[in-house]
């Protein structure tokens, strides 16, 4: 029977690349999107052309009731969820002293609370099924921190801590929990960087270039299928944090 993956924030960027890689592997693909409906529909066409059974789920993953409804619907349609990819997130570039409480709460809600709600929603089904895999998307800034991105770095560090703790808690149920920490990737999140910033960042990367969403997605699929790996943090950053 075909396996099913549920990807949050999957309409574009790294999430969409993950959806494509899982489709190529023969998975049923459930794609969550928050507001990017047009991109989600375009992705759906592409995945269908690859032979995948695709379902789109619109909803805010920082809303627990919405998460429960989406996960329940996907489980009902596909008979369960084998892999969860917690990709939903937002960035914030702002001086620490200018970061408001609302800024802080929004960043944590969209990066850490989303992973908490979605992981909680799939856990019971995975336990009943005898196992599963959760892959969280953090960031290299969650590992080493970034100036002017304190809220984002802290939230992504929280994702790493959650990964390690949850991997231990769910291991007896054969549920593996791992984390991918992308470096500077060619996505909408980095599209507005000016030329000087781009050149400066490339100069700090040993491989001398930004990564692609596809390169991150391949790491996600690897961890989803690596049956003897759990609780690990895989940094996909061209060597920037070595």
Query: For the chain, what is the radius of gyration of the CA atoms?
Result: 17
Please state at what angle helix 64-78 crosses helix 114-129, rounded to 10 degrees.
30
Is residue 152 among the annotated active site residues?
yes
Distance CA 146, CA 153 (A): 6
Q: Which residue in this structure is represented by tokens 């429960």? A: 68
In the set 27, 57, 78, 152, the catalytic residue is 152
Decide if 118 contacts 67 (C-beta within 8 A): yes
Query: Rounded to an integer, what is the distance from CA 218 to the centroid of its chain?
Result: 13
Query: Is the CA virtual torsion 80, 167, 68, 127 positive or negative?
Result: positive
Residues serving a catalytic function are 152
């Amino acid at each position: 029977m075909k396996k099913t993956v549920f990807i949050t924030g999957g309409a574009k960027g790294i999430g969409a690349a993950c959806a494509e890689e899982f489709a190529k592997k023969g998975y049923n693909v459930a794609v969550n999107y928050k507001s990017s409906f047009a991109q989600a529909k375009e992705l759906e066409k592409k995945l269908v052309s690859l032979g995948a059974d695709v379902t789109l789920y619109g909803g805010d993953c920082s809303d627990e009731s919405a998460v429960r409804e989406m996960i329940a619907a996907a489980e009902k349609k596909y008979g369960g969820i084998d892999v969860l990819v917690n990709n939903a997130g937002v960035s914030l570039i702002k001086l620490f002293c200018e970061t408001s409480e609302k800024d802080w709460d929004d960043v944590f809600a969209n990066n850490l609370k989303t992973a908490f709600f979605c992981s909680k929603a799939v856990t019971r089904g995975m336990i009943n099924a005898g196992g599963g895999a959760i892959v969280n998307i953090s960031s290299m800034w969650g590992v080493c921190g970034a100036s002017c991105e304190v809220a984002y770095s802290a939230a992504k560090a929280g994702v790493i801590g959650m990964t390690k703790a949850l991997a231990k808690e769910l291991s007896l149920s054969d549920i593996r929990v791992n984390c991918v920490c992308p470096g500077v990737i060619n996505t909408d999140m980095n599209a507005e960087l000016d030329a000087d910033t781009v050149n400066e960042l490339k100069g700090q990367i040993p491989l001398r270039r930004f990564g692609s969403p596809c390169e991150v997605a391949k790491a996600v699929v690897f961890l989803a299928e690596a049956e003897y790996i759990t609780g690990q943090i895989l940094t996909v950053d061209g060597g920037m944090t070595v």
